[in-house]
Amino acid sequence: MPRRDLYHNNVRNALVKEGWSITHDPLMLGDSELRVYPDLGAEKNIAERGVRTLVIEIKVFGTIGQLSELQKAIGQYVLYRSILRRSSSTRLPYLAIPSIAYQGLFQKKIIQNLIEDESIHLIVFNPFTEVIEQWID
């Protein structure tokens, strides 16, 4: 299993503050041939929709190597989404990113186009206050 990201506990705490239950830490996806481990599985009972379940991959996007980290994150996201779709899972994949990354790298037009074209769901969080600032679907 991969090591935890720097903001792993910050995202976990922010989700719990919003009423989410952490179901897996980490979550295992795949089969006997290949297993991957997204950072978190979470669920919440939402009145109009019933139980909503998520797969969350947490990324830091430090100052060095942001583009490489983005490429890796998008690859992980697409892989998780494919596994979920083919297993008929009701879980939705989300990429959790710190607000500073959203305000910087994720404001570039090419990145915005990528997020839109690939229908990538984002959780924007403040790692210092452990608050989710934005859900982007």
Task: Express as a percent the part of the chain with pLDDT over 90.
Answer: 82
129-133: average pLDDT: 98
Shortest CA distance to 41 belongs to which of 58, 53, 29? 53
10, exposed or middle or buried, with CB in 10 Å at 0-12, 13-18, 19+?
Answer: buried
pTM to 2 decimal places? 0.93
pLDDT value of position 127: 97
Measured distance CA(113)–CA(50) in Å, rounded:
31
φ, ψ of residue 39 to 5 degrees: the values are -60, -45
Q: What is the pLDDT of residue 48?
A: 76
DSSP single-letter state for residue 7: T
pLDDT of residue 2: 66
Confidence of residue 5 (pLDDT cuts 50, 70, 90): confident
pLDDT digits (tens, 9 = 90+) for 37-51: 999 999 999 877 788
Cα distances from 51 to residues 79, 85, 90, in angstroms, run: 24, 18, 10
pLDDT at residue 79 above 80? yes
Residues pairing with 30 in the sheet:
35
Residues 65-77: pLDDT tens digits? 899 999 999 999 9
Residues facing 51 on adjacent strands: 45
| One-character DSSP codes across 78-111 | HHHHHHHHHTT---EEEEEEEHHHHHTGGGSHHH
Please name each of the domains of the chain with its CATH number.
7-136 (3.40.1350.10)
